[in-house]
Amino acid sequence: MTVRETLDFSGRCLGVGTRYELLAELSRREKQAGIKPDPEIDAFMKATAMAGQKTSLGTDYVLKILGMDICSDIMVGDDMRRGISGGQKKRVTTGEMLVGPAKALFMDEISTGLDSSTTFQIVKFMKQMVHIMDVTMIISLLQPAPETYDLFDDIILLSEGKIVYQGPRENVLEFFERVGFKCPERKGVADFLQEVTSKKDQQQYWCRKDEPYRHISVPEFVEHFNSFHIGQKIDDELRVPYDNSKTHPAALVKERYGISNWELFKACFAREWLLMKRNSFVYIFKTTQITIMSVIAFTVFFRTKMKAGQIDNGVKFYGALFFSLINVMFNGMAELALTIFRLPVFFKQRDFMFYPAWAFALPIWVLRIPLSLLESGIWIILTYYTIGFAPGASRFFRQFLAFFGIHQMALSLFRFIAAVGRTQVVANTLGTFTLLVVFVLGGFVVAKDDIKSWMIWGYYISPMSYGQNAIVINEFLDKRWSIPFNQSISVGKVLLQSRGMYTEEFWYWICVAALLGFSLLFNLLFIVALTYLNPLGDSKSVILDEGDENKNKKQSSSDGQHNLKSIEMSSPSAASIFEEYS
C-alpha cells in the first residue's frame, strides 16, 4: 500500500472518537449564541468529524505535519519491493496513530535505526502536534542529540526502576546542582543525565569542591527529588482527590474499537480487495499453473486409453482422480506464504486495536471463494471430458462442487497452519508434516482396510479422505460402471470396496458437507490463532530484583553504568512503565 492508503486505512479503523459529538455540541451552542462560524473552518471540522470515510482531511494534515506529503503516493515497500526510506517508514508508523482520535500517545524508542537529523525532524513534528492538537506524548529516546532534547517540555529520568526526576526540562539541571552535580558547559544534557546516576561516571560531575565526593545512590536521588520544589508540587497535586463529577462523559472510552463491526468489516474488505489487485500477479500465476497442470493431466490420462466398465482400467481412473485431488490441494499452498508475509503488520495493528482478528480473516475467506470457483472450474473444464469421466452433466457439476470444497478446505488449512507457525520456517515444516499425514491417511496411498485399528481415527479426521471419497463415488457409481462383476455386486462397487471407499450415493453429499465443514472449522481456528497467539520472539525485559540485597551489593560498577541504558533499550520495560503512567 502507499503511504496515503496506509494512513487512510488507519484513520478509518481508529475512527474519530468524540469529534462528531463535540462538533454537534459546538453547533448547538453557536446557534444559541447567534454565532456564525467561518465557512472554511466549519467545513474542515465537519470533514474531520465524519467516521468511516475512505479518505480524510486528517490524513492530509498528518502527512503535511510529518513531512510525508512528498512521498504520499509511493509504496511503503518491503524486502522484495523498494519503497520509502527507513526514516519515512518510522514516520508512517507514527502517523498511523496520529490520524486517530488518541489524546495520549506512548512511544518507545522511535529513533532506533535513524540518524540524529531524522530524529530531530520527527520530534519537531511531534511537538507541533502536541501544541496544536492538545495531545500528550511520552517518548523514550536512546541518547538523543542536544537539539532533539531541547524540544521536549518535560523530562522523566528513570534509573533502576525508580523515577529520579519528573518535571520541566528547564529545572532538571537545577535539581542535580542542588544534590551536588553540575553538567559541564560542552556536555550534552541528555548524556549528563544518563551518566549522573551511574556509580562509575558520577564522580566527574561532583561540583562541591569544599566537600569530599561520596556516591549518591538512586534512592537518595529520589529522596532529594521529593524535597525539591518540583517534586513537592507534584506531591501536592496528587494529594488532592480528583472530583469525578467534573469528568467529561467522553473522557472514558467504553468501546474496544473506534468504529462499528460492520464498518470494520467494510474497511478490511476494501483493503483486502486493494491488496488482491496489487498482488494480481500471484493469482494469475496460480491460475496459469493449474491450467498447465490440467493440460499435463489430460495428456497423461487421455480418454482413448481409459476404457470404462473394467476393473483393470478402474485403477487408471483412480490415479487420474487422485492426481486431480493433489493438484487442487497443492494449488492452495501459496496461501501459507501470503499469510506469513502479512502477519507482522497484522499483529501490530491488532495490538493497537485497529480491528479484531475476525475482521482481518473474514474478507480473506470471502474474497478467495471466487478464486476457488475459477481455479476449480478451469481444472474441471479442461480435464473432465478429455480424460473421459462420467459423461452426465449432473456428474460434471458434482465433481466441480467436490473440487471447490477441496480447494476451499486447502486454502483455510494453509492459512491456519501459517497463523500457528507464524514464521516461514516453522510454518513450512508444520505444513509439510500435515500434508504427509493427510495424504497417507487419505484412503488412496494406504487403503482404509489396511490402516491399523489404532490409527483409523486419522482416516476419519483427514480432510483428504472425504475429498477422495466424494470424487470416486461420483465416478464409480455412474451407470457405466454398473456392469455386474458377479451376481451380487457391480464393477464400480468392487473398485470402491478395493480401497475401502463408501459405496452408497448419499455418502457423496456427506463428504462434500464434511469438506465445507472442515473449511469452516479451519477458518474459525485461523481466527482463534490470530486472536490469542503473539509473534514469536525473545523478550528483552529487564527485571530488577529489589528484595535481593546481597545481589545488589555484589553488582559491579559497570552494571551500574548500564542500568539506565538497559531500561531505555528494552522495549517491554519501557512499555510497562508507559502502561503504569497511563
pLDDT in tens, 138-148: 998 888 889 99
314 and 402 Cβ atoms separated by less than 8 Å: no
Residue 543 has pLDDT above 60, yes or no: no
Neighbours of 52 (CB within 10 A): 18
349 and 495 Cβ atoms separated by less than 8 Å: no
Domain-located, residue 72: no
Copy the grid coordinates of residue 414.
494453509
Domain-located, residue 135: no
Residue 309 has pLDDT above 80, yes or no: no
Residue 80 has pLDDT above 60, yes or no: yes
% of the chain beyond a pLDDT of 70: 87
Q: What is the pLDDT of the chain when averaged over all its residues? A: 82
- Please tell me which residue, 243 or 362, carries the higher pLDDT value: 362
Domain-located, residue 514: yes
Angle at 404 between CA 387 and CA 414, to 5 degrees: 115
Question: How would residue 563 be classed by pLDDT, with cut points 50, 70 and 90?
Answer: very low
Domain-located, residue 94: no
Domain-located, residue 131: no
What values do phi and psi take at 187, rounded to 5? -100, 135
In tens, the pLDDT along 222-247 reads 999 999 999 999 999 989 888 887 77
Number of structural domains in the chain = 1
Domain-located, residue 358: yes
Residue 186's H or E segment, with its range, is none
Domain assignment of residue 409, given as a range: 274-532
- Separation between Cα atoms, residue 370 and residue 358, nearest integer Å: 20
Domain-located, residue 281: yes
Whether the model pTM is above 0.85: no
Residue 556 has pLDDT above 60, yes or no: no
In tens, the pLDDT along 479-510 reads 888 887 776 788 888 888 888 888 888 999 99
Residue 95 has pLDDT above 90, yes or no: no
Domain-located, residue 177: no
| C-alpha separations of 544 from 162, 336, 521, 549, 555 in Å | 11, 41, 44, 11, 12
Q: Which residue has the cell 470396496?
A: 497
Q: Is 140 helix (H, G, I), strand (E, B) or coil?
A: strand
- What local confidence, expressed as pLDDT, does residue 49 receive? 61
User: How many residues does this entry show for the chain?
Assistant: 582
